[in-house]
Amino acid sequence: MGILESARPAIVICTRDRARATAFYGETLGLVLAHEDRFAAIFNTGGVTLRVSFVADFTPHEHTILGFSVPDVKATVTALREKGIAFNTYPGFSQDEIGILTLPGGVGQGLGLRIQMAMC
């Protein structure tokens, strides 16, 4: 067995604007804030801890940093769009009209949420 094979991961997301990021993950995405202190805003999602931490010189990533597995991708994308979340479409990929990419074997990556949304 690998050293971390049975360990539960913790997600750490950095931001230059923790108040805005905390509101986004809590109010927009609907994650429950479990704890907040001077180090991080801590959410629990799907049995995993998501920490949102302030980093003054953070530069947002240009790739997906967080994805969610959901039972109904189309309904979830639609609900998030109604909350103002924009989903990117990329040349060369066969995404549908709302941005969902279907990969061999089924729907996938439609919720590889590139929702750092200019997450400062």
> What are the pLDDT digits (tens) for 39-82?
999 999 999 999 999 999 999 887 778 888 888 888 988 999 99
- What is the per-residue pLDDT for 58? 93
Q: Just give the CATH number of 1-59.
A: 3.10.180.10
pLDDT, mean of residues 3-8? 93
Q: What is the reported pTM?
A: 0.79
Q: Which helix (H) or strand (E) holds 45?
A: strand 41-45
Judged by phi (left if over 0) then psi (alpha if -120 to 50, else beta), residue 52 lies in beta
- Beta-bridged to residue 52, according to DSSP, are 13, 41
- What is the per-residue pLDDT for 38? 93
* Domain layout of the chain by residue ranges: 1-59, 60-120
pLDDT, mean of residues 93-114? 67
- What is the per-residue pLDDT for 96? 84
Beta-carbon count within 10 A of 119 CB: 21
- What is the per-residue pLDDT for 115? 43
pLDDT of 6-49, one tens digit each? 999 999 999 999 999 999 999 999 999 999 999 999 999 999 99
- Separation between Cα atoms, residue 51 and residue 12, nearest integer Å: 5
Task: Report which of 11, 18, 74 is spatially closest to residue 45, judged by C-alpha positions.
Answer: 11
CA distances from 30 to 27, 45, 46, 57 (A): 5, 10, 12, 27
Task: Report which of 20, 29, 14, 16 is spatially closest to residue 113, judged by C-alpha positions.
Answer: 29
Q: In this predicted model, which residue has the larger pLDDT, 19 or 105? A: 19
